[in-house]
Each structure stands twice: as C-alpha cells, then as structure tokens.
A and B are shown apart, each in its own frame.
Chain A
Amino acid sequence: MIRPALSAPELTRVLASKRSTRTLLAFVSMASLSWTHLHGQAVPPGRTVIAVPDAFPAIEARALIVRTPEEDVIVLREEGATPDALLMALALLRRLRAEDSSPGSHQVIPITGFVVTREAAAEHRRDAEAVLRRLRAAPPVGLGDLGEGRWTPLGR
C-alpha cells in the first residue's frame, strides 16, 4: 500500500503553489520509497541474517554463508542449528569480511566441516542460544531460492 508522505489538503495546497513541480517530484519519490519498503521487503543493507530452510540444499555442507552486496546470510541445517555451528559460521564470516568487507558480486561459501576445540565464553553462548531460540520461534516464510523456512536478523 502506498503511504502518501503528504495529506490530501497539504498536497492540494502544495500543488497550487509556484514550486509545485519540484514538490510533486518529491512526493512521487517518497511514495515510491514507501512502496519499496512495504512490498520489496528488503532487509536493510549490511545486515547479517540467520536462516534455516525446511529443506537444506543438496550440497555437502554443514552450513552455508551467502554474501551479497546487501547482506550476509548464514544458512544452517535444521538439525545442525547449534550455538557451536552459529558461532563458528560467524567467526568465518568475520574472517571473510576482513578479507573483503563488501563483495561486489554474490558468493556462496559452503562450510564442509568444523571442529570446536575451545568453547566461547558463556555469555557469547547465551547470545547464540537466544538468536537460535528467536529463529525457532519465527514464523515460516519464503526464503527465496531456498524455499520455505525461517529467518531472523542477527541483531535486534
């Protein structure tokens, strides 16, 4: 639904003014932005998103990291969505970001395996568990080419 930036009387008054053309352009662009916000459903740029698809892709991986110019998505298996998996994927994502903070093209990084030899501090594990709880409580929605599933932003 288009949410007009100006009320009808305001618009009428503005249109009648001498600067009507410039203001009309501003109105159209603001209305377009509202349309994009409501119907494009784009995640704000630069965010990290955790997703669990109902059916993980047929690929030999414990998890995937999908990097786009807009966002980084960590895709976990339903049965493998553990704090260890999330923390290790985040550690790898941090390393990848250090190498290339904003990739110009799209990347898929399958994580074929990992071994945790030193657990994170308790508070970080609690954070990871909270994110996973939020993920499990999220309603099922479409995940694009991954099919149906659930997702949640990493931060609140």
Chain B
Amino acid sequence: MYRLRIRTLWPAAAAAALVACSEDPTASPPPFAVAPMPDLELELPALDALRPATEERRRGAASGDPPGPARITEDWEEELSRPIQQIFDPRTRTRIEGAYGYALGLHEYIGNIGRIATTVQASMGSQYLGAFTAESQDYTPFFFDFGRVKTAWAQARVSLAETCGLEVHGSSVHQAWWQMYQGRSAPMWGVATRTSQADETSQGGCADAATGTRKEGRSEPGGVICYYKITYELDTGIIVDAQLLSCVGSGDEQW
C-alpha cells in the first residue's frame, strides 16, 4: 500500500519540484502572491530651476549675460575699488491692497548699474507660507553717466485672494556698481551692497474665526495654501508659463 502510494505520487512530486526549481519568468505566479507595484513613469523638467515668474525689469542696453555683478579677481578689486558711498536710503515697504500683497524696494545710487532684488513673504502667525522675489536692473552707458544719482526699484507681489489673517513681510538686497559695459567678464568696480527690511503688514482678522485655532467638526479641512504653477513642454522641458505665487483659502472643498 505504502509502495503503491509512492509510485503513484512521485511523478506529481517530481513535476512540482521541477516547476519550483525552474526560473521561467513567464511562469504564472501563485494566486496568493502580492502583485508587484509597477514603476511610475513620471517625466518632469529640472525641478531645482523652477521658481515663480520673476518680475524682472531691465532698463538700458540688453545683455545676454545673467544679471548681477560678475566675479572679479582680488587684483581687479584692489585696483578698481573706490571708497565712495554709492547707495543712499535703501528701503522696503509693504502693503496689502485688494487681492494682492506688495513689497516695494527702493534706493538711490551712484554708479552706472543699479540692481535691486525685493522679496515679499506671506505668513500666518509664525508659519511661513511662501515668498516671491522680483528683480530689477538699470543700466546707463558708462561714458554718459557723469555720476548722476539715480533711483532703482522693484516690486514683488503675492496674490491673496480669498484669504484672511495673513501677514506680508518684505526685504530687499540693493546693489550698485560701475562697469564699462555689461557682461560677466567686463571689469567693474565700486560694488556696493546693502539690505533693508520692511515692517510687517497684516491682512486683518477673519470674520468667522476660521483662522488662528484648529477646530474640528466640519467635513472639510480649512486653511490657507500657497502655491505657484509652472506649465512646461514635456518633450523639451521648456517652461511655457509660470504663474505668480498665490495663496488661497481652502475650506469649501470636499474630500
């Protein structure tokens, strides 16, 4: 009886062993196996280069070089630096008007290039929500400047539609320098840099006490969310549109 059973069962056992040892990738998985998670084929542009649309304003001769003073060697610095005050009254002001929060940076300067980067930052209480920087650079041809005092300004804004209880902060980096012509390799001197901060401006409290404290009991989450939107071409990664930083109220949405 025992021998008969072995003789009856061994082909099936051998077949099972063969199946178990085979590495045929096309073999069907056992029914209790967990289905493997497929890869997510997500294609994105270079994300570290993404930023909201900078409202850059450049006045004067155009240049293909990136804005800002070029790196210069210590020799150049020693030879060309001049102990003159070139930036006067650097300041930043903030305000909230309509659906936008603004930060305006200003300074007067001597030099044929003036540059300013003004940042507006939105927050609620102590929580940071987002920031946006606007940049401006003004150029006057070196030989026609005659050391005149000029004004540089930049204004950054953030959309605050449908929100309340937000604060807007502002800060600027002010720069001025001399340069024979615009270009990263062009010699420059008298580079001056100063910073300024604005007083905080508050949007005011919310009518229904929807902010400031966490409350429960409603079906949907409520709060403020800040974001910007970049539209790009998948094939080339080229950014075709970049929306301003926006803060919106959230509370009417359903899960």
Contacts and interface: CB of A to CB of B under 8 A. Distances in A.
A141 B34 CA distance: 14
Interface stretch (B37-45, B63-71, B179-187, B191-199): B37-45
Interface in A17-68: 41-43, 49, 51, 57-59, 64-66, 68
A96 to B, nearest CB: 8
A117 B232 contact: no
B124 A115 contact: yes
Which size bracket describes the interface of A in this complex? 35 or more
A150 B38 CA distance: 10
Contact of A59 (B40, B50, B220, B225): B50
A49 B40 CA distance: 9
A32 B191 CA distance: 65
B141 interface: no
Contact of B255 (A41, A90, A108, A150): A90
B147 interface: no
B39 A142 contact: yes
B3 interface: no
B226 A112 contact: yes
A92 B227 contact: yes
Which among B42, B43, B224 has the highest number of chain A CB atoms within 10 Å?
B42
Contacts of B125: 115
A41 B245 CA distance: 35
Interface in B30-57: 36-45, 47-48, 50
A76 B231 CA distance: 20
A118 interface: yes
Contacts of A146: 40, 42, 44
B218 A66 contact: no
Nearest to A84: B221
Interface residues of B, number: 56
Provide the main secondary structure of the chain A interface. Answer: mixed
Nearest to B251: A118
Interface string A82-96: 001001101110111
B237 to A, nearest CB: 10
A107 B123 CA distance: 25
Nearest to A56: B47
B131 interface: yes
A112 B227 contact: yes
Which among A42, A120, A151 has the highest number of chain B CB atoms within 10 Å?
A120
Given A57-B47, A113-B226, A142 B232 contact: no
18 contacts: A64-B47, A91-B220, A92-B227, A92-B248, A106-B234, A108-B230, A109-B228, A111-B225, A111-B226, A115-B211, A116-B214, A117-B215, A119-B215, A120-B218, A121-B220, A124-B219, A124-B221, A144-B44
